[in-house]
Chain A
Amino acid sequence: MNGSMTVLRILPEIIFTLTGVAIMLIDPVMPKQASRKPLGWLAAFGALAALIASLYQYSLPVGTAYFGVVQTDAFSVFFHVLISGIILVSALVVLDAVHPDTESLGELFALMSFGAVGMLLMTSGVELLLVFIGLEISSISTYILAGFRRKTAKSPESALKYFLLGSFATAFFLYGIALTYGATGTTRITDIAAGLATSHALPIAVVGLAFIVIGLAFKVSAAPFHLWTPDVYEGAPSPIVGLMSTAPKAAAFAVLLRIAYEAFPQLQNHWMPLLWILAAVSMTIGNLGALRQKNVKRMLAYSSIAHAGYLLVAFTVLSTDGVAAASFYAVAYAVMNVGIFAVISHAGGYEDRLTLIEDYKGLAYRSPLLGGVMAFFLLSLIGIPFTGGFFGKFYVFAAAIHSGMIWLAIIGLLNSGIAVFYYLRVLTATYTKPMDSSPVLNVPRVSAPLCLAMALTVAVTLVLGIIPGRVLSMARHAAETFPVFSTQQTPVPGTASAVMAAINTKAR
């Protein structure tokens, strides 16, 4: 094993760890009154370095390291880049939104970095136990981050709800791993498929897979496992919501994709209908729920449930197109959501002064920049051409139609019609002339880090909307790492079809 190569395979994780450790070391020795903003910049630069390291990982040959528990391939690197980017932008947004003397600000930045380590390990881990540890690292960080505004009642409430339901979900996930191990004798994702082919306990594997899916569905807030989402998003600090509605979800989706397509391709007739239902229910509940919200953060929480549904549509497609569409959508969704929360955390403030839709009346008149950016991301969430949202939805539904999922595509498109209503409600409020007494009057000055964050997200959304070819080919490349697609033309006899036949005869 080449030692330096081994280290390079977890380079972004190492960078994030060192960043977090450095923040932890510097924070306590700084004078108590000193501004913690430099630590935020440190976190941002750490994320930037990790982003560059992730991009560098594209040049590495596909392979595993550390006894085969982590694997760098086009798929994991794709999500490495995405998550590092989200952390970078989120750090900038936090820098803008919080007061320099917010208590334990250093911890916040350290937790962001450590959480990123967990998310990156989730995407690159091919050993279920490592994935579980990554999931726990990222979850525990986000639990704490959600409760960071300790002085208010809502934030700890949100953290507690998130913690209780989240640990419940991870328990499901762990139990699923245990059952899978019982059925196949391995916890290595790449070996499970082979283990299934010779397994004598397939029903147990099916139950294990179901538990794993339930655990991850909690994490991505797919309905009917979505109940925590609105409350948590409402209570958590806005800049953190931007982070936790995107990065951990992207990581959980990556895990789900890897497990579904790499570990359990033989059981696709079992998980496909399951995900079909999850997708349809998530889209519908998310959009219908969002219609009735008065609070922008709750509305976006429901919208994120709906977007999880759109993404799950791509899951059911069972082709390179589907995985590529899901990966692309993850990027498009993450960028626009982080972007819109950047605006909300600036206008609403870290303390959530303004979160009702009414509060946003006239934002565009008070600050044309913020209003414009907000409008841009709302339009992208609707799915207007020349934004990432359009091509994201387009690929997802195109993939669904191409694989004959007509009804799912129709449900999805109807839902995106409903979605127009509530996004436009915010958009309309933004461009309504404010009354003199409206509270949004004193929008604080837009700072440099926020400008940077908005410029980055707007630019990426535009690139995704105008020249999506490059990112799409990267996503496609990522999808091709799954052996199930490379061997699709020549299916190995005695695996999938034989297993399915065995299950069917047993069922009878």
Chain B
Amino acid sequence: MNSIGPLTLLTALPIAGAVLVLILKRAQKLSRAVAIVIAVAALLATLVLWARFDSAAPGMQFQEVHTWAPSVGLTYHVGVDGLGILLLVLSAVVVLMSLAASWRNASHGPVYFALVLLLEAGLFGTFTALNFLHWFIFWELTLLPAFFLVRLWGGPQRGRASVQFFFYTMVGSVALLLAFLALYLATGTYDFTTLAQMAQNGGLAAALQQNLHWGGWSGGHIALILFWAVFLGFAVKTPVVPFHGWLPDTYSEASSETTMLLTGAMSKMGIFGFLRILLPIFPAQMQEMLTPLLWLAVASIVLPAFAAWRQKDLKRTFAYSSVNHLGYCVLGVCVAAKLTGVDPSLAIEKSAALTGVLLQIFSHGLTAAALFWFVALLERRSGGLRGLEDFGGLRKIVPVFCGLMGIAIFASLGLPGLNGFPAEFLIFKGAFPLAGWAATAALLGLLLTAVFLLGILQKVFFGPLGKGQLETKTDTNSSSLPAAMRDLSTTERFALAPAIALMFVLGLYPQLIAGKMAGTVTQWTTPATSATEAYKTTAPKHNAARLEAASGAWLIHRKAQAGKAQVAD
């Protein structure tokens, strides 16, 4: 495995693109076009990988291992499972959407485009890395372009917001690093897969017990401390509620195109961490801490929904709504953690929850990015206004805009037929039997989401004309504002159409994603010492069959997939 594999090339592509964009800096138009072409190419590349990804096989695919700095345990090890490939596609989609949204934004020069491409490279690196140090390097590296994107383009308070963003994330990262240094000391490896295996067969706790002598604590206690340290890192990034202080300011001060990236792609790094690191490496600790974790998850669902309701600013509303939606993911993960032993009756619920989490990752990325795109369009038309009170009755002036944004809002709200519904449905389906009280409490969040999103719909689209448009009419001598608000141009409609179409497709046919995730979810729900071996026995088939029966009509294709895999084996 010494040749350069597809995942390395995929990560290198945006970096090369960024360099090219900077070289062509003088020719503004050309460099932007190059950036878009690179983003499209990256998306196509991820789609090719998606197509070639064996949905039924468990474990990592497209793996690649090189030595890097062996003396510190740093290995270049990349590979993707269902989670990884899903996030690769999502990042490519969101980056392309963001670049497309920036196309007409004159203040976003070539440097902006180059930074976005660098961010994309960082995301690809993060989502493919399987060695902690290698992963951590990319995890930190995404912070840089993100910091500059917030710092250089955005609202008047962007300086403070960017420092806040950087600092919060750094603190989380420091905790992460510390925990993994301790893990490395105990186990001698940074490899996620190896660590997960050790966690499953009890080797991890034994190693901690044996090799770490911290003030007489037992291995279990040390593992718990490490778990909370790692949790802190992801909780800040996702964010989970008490650690979300950086988010509203950052999301609202960054330019909307940047916020698309932050919420669409970067927030998924936290969820990725939950699924790739926390759940496999610390399953026992998650179980032990399940009640506080569920409380945190419920808090991340309900409180931001309340906060969103009270906001007067569209961007802040959507920012809080983003925390709320990611709260469902955290809930799903925590619920899945409840069950680690073999218990077929609940394994179905667990796999429903996990499938829901995966769907929600993609669905929220798509919807949130789309929503902030609409905010960007609105801001540009109104000359920077984005307060809820500034608008009203938009439906009369810009009907197409309102129609499309309405679809996005309904998708975010979870209307059946759109992408939000199957994801949230599956999460709740898993959550109710496993943690009924948490799911019930989380329902309140669902309700509040509906309240504030419909509130936006009512205030902005219906009712009397607001200040945003009135000003554009009375204040005609101000050259910065357009004479009257324009509806979406043909280009913009074409740019938005695929995103909106995807919402419908995923809403009506979630199997598109769920099918690809089958192998991964089966692996997660099969807590055998060696997942590969377990898969070869008949148990998963049995499991898969039960799953289909339980998980509803949209999982109907799974049987065929699983059957195919069996034939292949």
B contact residues around A56 at 8 Å (CB): none
> Is the beta-carbon distance between A417 and B159 smaller than 8 angstroms?
no
Q: Which residues of B contact A414 (CB under 8 A)?
A: 174
- Inter-chain CA distance A401–B185, complex, in Å, is 8
Contact between A469 and B68 (Cβ–Cβ < 8 Å)?
A: yes
B444 within 8 A of A: no
8 Å CB contact of B144 from A379, A401, A468: A379
Is A398 in contact with B184, judged by CB distance below 8 angstroms?
yes
Q: Which of A96-104, A218-226, A420-428, A492-500 contacts B (4 or more CB under 8 A)?
A: A420-428
Are A472's CB and B185's CB within 8 A?
A: no
Q: For A469, give its contact among B71, B151, B162, B167 (CB under 8 Å).
A: B71
Chain A's interface size range is 20 to 34
- A384: B residues at CB distance < 8 A: 140-141, 143-144
The reply to whether A394 and B72 contact each other, CB–CB distance below 8 Å, is yes
Which residues from 404 to 432 on chain A have a C-beta closer than 8 Å to any C-beta of chain B?
404, 406, 409-410, 413-414, 416-417, 420-421, 424-425, 428, 431-432
A417 CA / B140 CA spacing, docked (Å) = 14
B213 to chain A, nearest CB (A): 7
CA distance A413 to B178 in the complex (A): 8
For the complex, is A397 an interface residue (Cβ under 8 Å from B)?
yes
Roughly how many angstroms separate A395 CA and B177 CA in the complex, as a whole number? 12
Contact pick for B71, options A406, A424, A472, CB 8 Å: A472
Q: Shortest CB–CB separation between residue A176 and chain B, in angstroms?
A: 35
Q: Across the interface, which residues of A come within 8 angstroms of B138, CB to CB?
A: 385
In contact, B143 and A398 (Cβ under 8 angstroms)? no
- Report the minimal beta-carbon distance from A414 to chain B, rounded to whole angstroms: 8
Contacts of B72 in A (CB 8 A): 391, 394-395, 398, 468, 472
Q: How far is the CB of B467 from chain A (nearest CB, A)?
A: 28
Given A417-B170, A420-B166: A385 and B181 within 8 A (CB)? no
Cβ-defined contact, A385 with B71, below 8 A:
no
How far, in whole Å, are A402 and B72 apart by their CA atoms in the complex?
12
Contact indicator A386/B137 (Cβ below 8 Å): yes
- Within 8 Å by CB of B69, from A397, A431, A469, lies A469
Contacts of B184 in A (CB 8 A): 398
Chain A: CB-nearest residue to B144: A384
Which residues of B have CB within 8 Å of A382?
170
Contact present for B143 and A409 (CB under 8 Å): no
Residue-by-residue, is B162-184 near A (CB-CB < 8 Å gives 1, otherwise 0)?
11001100110010011001101
Interface status of B70 (Cβ within 8 A of chain A): yes
Instruction: Please measure, in the bound complex, the distance between the C-alpha atom of A384 and the C-alpha atom of B174, giving whole angstroms.
Output: 11
CA distance A413 to B68 in the complex (A): 25
> What B residues does A428 contact at CB under 8 A?
151, 159, 162-163
Measured between beta carbons, the chain A residues less than 8 angstroms from B68 are 467, 469
Complex CA gap A421/B165 in Å reads 11
User: In chain B, residues 133-158, which have Cβ atoms closer than 8 Å to a Cβ of chain A?
Assistant: 136-138, 140-141, 143-144, 148, 151-152
Indicate whether B214 reaches chain A with its CB closer than 8 angstroms: yes
User: Assuming A384-B140, A385-B136, is B69 touching A409 (CB within 8 A)?
Assistant: no
Partner of A431, one of B144, B151, B213: B151
In contact, A473 and B71 (Cβ under 8 angstroms):
yes
* Residue A476 CB within 8 A of the other chain: yes
The CA of A425 and the CA of B162, in the complex, are separated in Å by: 11
Q: Are B140 and A385 in contact (CB under 8 A)?
A: yes
A to B CB contacts below 8 Å, 19 in the list: A379-B144, A386-B137, A397-B181, A398-B72, A398-B184, A401-B178, A401-B185, A402-B185, A409-B178, A420-B167, A421-B167, A428-B151, A428-B163, A431-B148, A431-B151, A467-B69, A468-B69, A472-B69, A473-B71
A417-B167, A469-B70 are known; give 15 further A-B pairs, CB within 8 A: A386-B137, A394-B72, A397-B181, A398-B181, A402-B181, A404-B213, A417-B174, A420-B170, A421-B167, A425-B163, A428-B162, A428-B163, A431-B151, A467-B69, A473-B71
What 6 A-B pairs are tightest by C-beta distance, nearest first?
A: A385-B137, A469-B69, A385-B140, A401-B181, A413-B174, A420-B170
Partner-A contacts on B (CB < 8 A): 68-72, 136-138, 140-141, 143-144, 148, 151-152, 159, 162-163, 166-167, 170-171, 174, 177-178, 181-182, 184-185, 213-214
